[in-house]
């Protein structure tokens, strides 16, 4: 059976604004650190694909929708606040996860 990616994220951004760049960078880091092998990350530029924003009823940019792991989570903002980001995604902070892997 094909292995399902562990993390499925869709990030809605508006063009190449600084907020978009910050959010993308932040999310890539999360993927690398917490889902190193299997992270499915889709970035939607609402300026190019407004119908996807309509489909998911997205109003704010950036908006992050985590479909996996469950429960799904919706976040809005440039994801620059790492502490809150990890808290809302219910992920351990990087240091904590390192400590866990060492033990």
Partner 1 sequence: MKTNTQIKGMEKLPTGIAGLDWVCDGGFPKNRTTLVCGTAGSGKTLFAAQFLAEGIQQTNESGLFVTFEESPDDIRNNVGSLGWNVPLWEKQKKWVFVNASPRMEEQVVGEYDLTAFLVRIEKAIKEVNAKRVVIDSLGAIFSQFTIETIVRRELFRIVNALKEMGITSMMTAERDTEYGRVSRHSVEEFVADNVIILRNVLDQERRRRTLEVLKLRGSSHQKGECPFTILPKTGLELMPISFIALEQKSTSKRIRSGKKEVDDMCGGGFFRDSIILVSGPTGTGKTLLASEFIMGGAKSGERSLYFAFEESHEQLSRNATSWGMDFDELEKTGKLKMVCCYPETANLEEHLINMKRVIEEFKPQRIAVDSLSALERTAIRRGFRDFVLCLTAFIKKQQIAGLFTSTSPSLLGGLSVTEAHISTITDSIILLRYLEMAGEMRRGITVLKMRGSKHDKEIREYTIDEKGLHIGAPVNKVTGILTGHLKYLSKEDALEMSMSESEA
Encode 63-92: b = buried (16+ Cβ within 10 Å), e = exposed. Answer: bbbbebeeeeeebebbbeeeeebbeebebe
Alpha-carbon span 21 to 15, nearest angstrom: 9
Chosen residue from 25, 54, 98, 99 binding partner 1 by CB under 8 A: 54
Alpha-carbon span 66 to 9, nearest angstrom: 5
Q: Rounded to the nearest whole angstrom, what is the least distance from the CB of residue 11 to partner 1 in the complex?
A: 12
Choose one: 3-11, 29-37, 50-58, 93-101; the region binding partner 1 (CB under 8 A).
50-58
Mask of contacts with partner 1, 17-36, x by CB under 8 A?
A: --x--xx-------------
Q: Rounded to the nearest whole angstrom, what is the least distance from the CB of residue 4 to partner 1 in the complex?
A: 22
Q: Which is nearer to partner 1, 72 or 93 (CB)?
A: 72
* Binding status of residue 74 toward partner 1 by CB under 8 A: yes
Q: What one-character DSSP code corresponds to residue 75?
A: E
């Amino acid at each position: 059976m094909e292995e399902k990616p562990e993390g499925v994220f869709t990030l809605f951004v508006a063009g190449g604004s600084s907020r978009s760049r910050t959010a993308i960078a932040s999310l890539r880091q999360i993927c690398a650190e917490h889902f190193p092998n299997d992270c499915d990350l889709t970035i939607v530029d609402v300026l190019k694909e407004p119908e996807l924003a309509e489909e998911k009823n997205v109003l704010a940019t950036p908006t992050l929708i985590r479909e996996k792991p469950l429960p799904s989570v919706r976040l809005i903002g440039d994801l620059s606040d790492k502490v809150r980001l990890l808290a809302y995604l219910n992920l351990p902070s990087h240091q904590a996860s390192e400590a866990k892997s060492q033990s």
